[in-house]
Amino acid sequence: MKSATELTTEIIKITLLIQEKYPELYEYLGEMPITIPTDQNPIINSQSLNAYYESLVAMLNNYIYSHNQEKANESQSQKSLR
């Protein structure tokens, strides 16, 4: 497993990518359940950072997949209208 420092760097990179390329998705980052700790003093370690990073990757991949599917469906609809 990566160190906490490496994971923090990866989290910053993917967050910046989302902010720059997918601003419509960026606004939802603060609403992710994993970013809202329910504990009084949450433990932040490599395991929790890795879980957060993986959730960011999954969210981004799901968004890109869904967005590409929408574009493909729009393209198919336009072709069938011709």
DSSP result, the chain: ---HHHHHHHHHHHHHHHHHH-HHHHTTGGG-GGGS--SSS---SHHHHHHHHHHHHHHHHHHHHHHHHHHHHHHHHHHHH-
- pLDDT for 5 equals 95
Mean pLDDT of the chain: 84
Q: How confident is the model at residue 35 (pLDDT cuts 50, 70, 90)?
A: low
Euclidean distance between CA atoms 29 and 34, whole angstroms: 10
Altogether, the residues listed in the chain come to a count of: 82
Q: Can you tell me the mean pLDDT for 3-24? A: 94
User: In total, how many domains does the chain have?
Assistant: 1
Q: How many whole angstroms separate alpha carbon 56 and alpha carbon 77? A: 32
User: 77 falls in which pLDDT band (50, 70, 90)?
Assistant: low
Provide the residue range defining the domain that includes 62.
4-81
Please tell me the pTM assigned to this model. 0.77
